[in-house]
Chains A and B, each alone.
Chain A
Amino acid sequence: MKTEMRLTIDRIKCDGHGLCAELLPELIRLDDWGYPIIASAPIPERLASLAQRAVATCPVLALALRRESRPR
């Protein structure tokens, strides 16, 4: 089994503070209204700790990490 991490977002909670995109521009960019557009691909190992920081920094706790296990 291989574990993959993905970023998920609660769209109702998200207020478009934009901190996540500042911390993790590799995976998150902002649309014209300041709301995040998140890459759908799994988070590469090298960005895992930054992704965790982005989740912890979200002022409204809208961002989360989802762990997915899938057979290799």
Chain B
Amino acid sequence: MSGPRLLAGPDLGAGAEGYADHVRRLGPTTLAGRALIEALVRSGVTGRGGASFPAGLKWRALAATSKGSAVIVVNGAEGEPQSHKDRLLMRTRPHLILDGAFLAARTLRAASVVVYVGEEHRAAYAAMERALRERPEAERRVARMAAAPHRYVAGESSAAVHLIDGGIATPTTTPPHSRERGVAAAPTLMQNVETLAHIALIARYGDAWYRSMGRRGAAGTLMVTIAGGVKKPGVLEIEAGITIGEAVAMAGGLSEPAAAVLLGGYFGAWMPAVKAWELPLDAEALRAGGLGLGCGVIGVQPASRCGVCDTARIMRYLAEESSAQCGPCFFGLRALSDACSRVAERGTNRDDMARLKRWAVEVQGRGACKHPDGAVMFLRSALSTFSDEFASHPAHWRQQPA
């Protein structure tokens, strides 16, 4: 089989595939229990929320600690502003996601399933809620919806647990990790919606089938969002391991000359376009080069835009999205954002450049969650990718839409 897997089936424009159609098209899942966990380990399927952690290992660890009280959190918060793949999947293939969630519940002997969807993704939320109502009674009984507040950090796992338990989507101090002590103090499996959908197919066709797609040593398919300077921006399901250049060609090619690519969204990294075109879209290969796939956002930066101004705008956003709990994140990101904005608005000055470089290192690793780390890694990649622009930025804030 080639072509799309998660997005196979009825036309996406027709909206959510109903439960009866879904079951008729795909049939029941065949793998369960330990056999499923081992198939997931062999498949190499990794988390698609951003961390790219091997799902099989996560399930194995949880199977060992669950004593019938575990909780499955279906993570559809999708707080990354440029990412659209999770909401597209929820809107069109909700039952693939729920198959994965209830497989997890049975395999890991979970007591409940929480479907956690970004409140701003109204169509996706409604589709998941409707899909849940179509499931068999035994599944419906243990599942509920929870709305993720429209905040960048709401999808972070400790923040999700905090919201589900206490109504506030702010990260908490770890350890304990939610895997050991999560929702209602029970071991909790936090899994991105796309990951669960892949698992629903692996449970039908096996790990060898999963690995039968994928190039340059990568396995399976990936959902990515291609944004910015391409002719047909949007969500694509691609074969894992194709290059960024090949993915851009699938999105209709460049709409104008490109200068850089922001890979992985605001939690990701900038790189020069010429370097990006050759990079394979594969979490493992990217990690070997010190990069990350993140949630699969490929932002193509046209040469006509100013990288310094865009970086300043995104740093402002990330500073405002700090949950204001940890000093180094709250004060540090605000100071970094202010320094970036000064360079963007008034032009390069030596003091601000020195501060940016120093703070971008000092803030690293000093928050309860990874929000400050993501922000300074993003900034450091900007300082290196746009080093010429930062070194001699004129006093302007280029008027361009965000």
Across chains A and B, the number of contacting residue pairs, with CB separation under 8 Å, is 39
A31 with B172: CB separation less than 8 A: no
Interface membership of B332, Cβ < 8 A:
yes
Interface membership of A11, Cβ < 8 A:
yes
CA distance A35 to B332 in the complex (A): 10
Interface membership of B291, Cβ < 8 A:
no
CA distance A15 to B328 in the complex (A): 10
B327 with A35: CB separation less than 8 A: yes
A69 smallest CB distance to B (angstroms): 17
A12 with B328: CB separation less than 8 A: no
Contact (A14, B335) CB under 8 Å given A31-B362, A32-B359, A35-B366: no
Closest to B372 in A: A11
Closest to B326 in A: A11
Contact (A33, B368) CB under 8 Å given A10-B173, A12-B172, A12-B173: no
| Mask of A7-33 contacts with B, CB within 8 angstroms, 1/0 | 000111111100000000000000111
Closest to A15 in B: B327
Interface footprint category on A: 10 to 19
Residues 344-371 of B contacting A (Cβ, < 8 Å): 359, 362-363, 366-368
Contact (A37, B362) CB under 8 Å given A11-B326, A12-B172: yes
Residues of B within 8 A of A14 (CB): 326-327
CA distance A12 to B326 in the complex (A): 5
Partner of A11, one of B331, B335, B367: B367
Residues of B within 8 A of A32 (CB): 335, 359
B335 with A37: CB separation less than 8 A: no
Residues of A within 8 A of B212 (CB): none
Residues of A within 8 A of B367 (CB): 11
Closest to A35 in B: B327
Mark B residues whose CB is within 8 Å of A: 172-173, 325-329, 331-332, 335, 359, 362-363, 366-368
A-B pairs with beta carbons under 8 Å apart, 18 shown? A10-B173, A11-B173, A11-B325, A11-B326, A11-B328, A11-B329, A11-B367, A12-B172, A12-B325, A14-B326, A15-B327, A31-B328, A33-B327, A33-B332, A33-B335, A35-B331, A37-B362, A37-B366
Q: A13-B173, A14-B326, A14-B327 are in contact. List 12 more A-B contacts (CB 8 A).
A: A11-B325, A11-B366, A12-B172, A12-B326, A12-B368, A31-B362, A31-B363, A33-B328, A33-B332, A33-B335, A35-B327, A37-B362
